[in-house]
Amino acid sequence: MMSNWYTEFVRVNPNAQPLPPPPIPQPVPVAPQGAEEFRANIDDDPEKAEFWLENSMRVFDELSCTPVESLKCDVSLLRDSVYRWWKTLTSVISRERVTWGFFLEEFRKKYISQRFID
C-alpha cells in the first residue's frame, strides 16, 4: 500500500528524492569478541588446540551463533596447514556432512588427540 502511494507520488513528482535503500545488516566480526586464529605447529601440545576450540565456542555462544555460523567463523580462523587440512578433508566428503558437529569431531581427532599425544 505504501509502495503504491510512493510510486504514484514519484510519477506525479519526477523531481522527488528516491527512498534510501534499506540498511544492510553488517556481520559482527568475531576477532574483537575474543576469537583468535589457529595455526598448528609440530611442537604444539593438545592443550593449545583445546583452549583455542573452547575459546571459539565461548565467543560463538556469546554472539548467539547458529551451528552454521559457528562453522563458518571457525573455518575463517584456521590458518596455514590447519586450513589446508580442512579444505582437503571437505573436498573428499559430501557437502551435507560438513556440519559444526563434524568439524568439532574431526578437529578434536586431528589436533587434540593422537597426533599431539604421540
How much is the pTM?
0.68
Predicted pLDDT at 118: 47
Evaluate whether residue 24 is within a structural domain.
Answer: no
Predicted pLDDT at 12: 79
Name the residue among 86, 92, 58 with its Cα closest to residue 72.
Answer: 86
Evaluate whether residue 43 is within a structural domain.
Answer: yes
Name the residue among 71, 64, 61 with its Cα closest to residue 99.
Answer: 71
Evaluate whether residue 22 is within a structural domain.
Answer: no
Name the residue among 117, 107, 5 with its Cα closest to residue 56.
Answer: 107
pLDDT tens-digit readout, 17-66: 766 777 765 555 555 566 788 888 777 788 889 999 999 999 999 989 99
pLDDT at 2 over 70: no
Evaluate whether residue 17 is within a structural domain.
Answer: no
pLDDT tens-digit readout, 50-107: 999 999 999 999 989 999 999 999 999 999 999 999 999 999 999 999 999 999 999 9
CA distance 58 to 54: 6
Number of folded domains that form the chain? 1
Evaluate whether residue 14 is within a structural domain.
Answer: no
CA distance 73 to 83: 12
Name the residue among 81, 67, 87, 92 with its Cα closest to residue 115.
Answer: 81
Q: State which residues form the domain around 58.
A: 31-117
CA distance 107 to 86: 9
Predicted pLDDT at 114: 60
**DSSP class of residue 30?**
S
Evaluate whether residue 44 is within a structural domain.
Answer: yes
Evaluate whether residue 3 is within a structural domain.
Answer: no
Evaluate whether residue 57 is within a structural domain.
Answer: yes
The amino acid present at 101, given as its one-letter code, is G
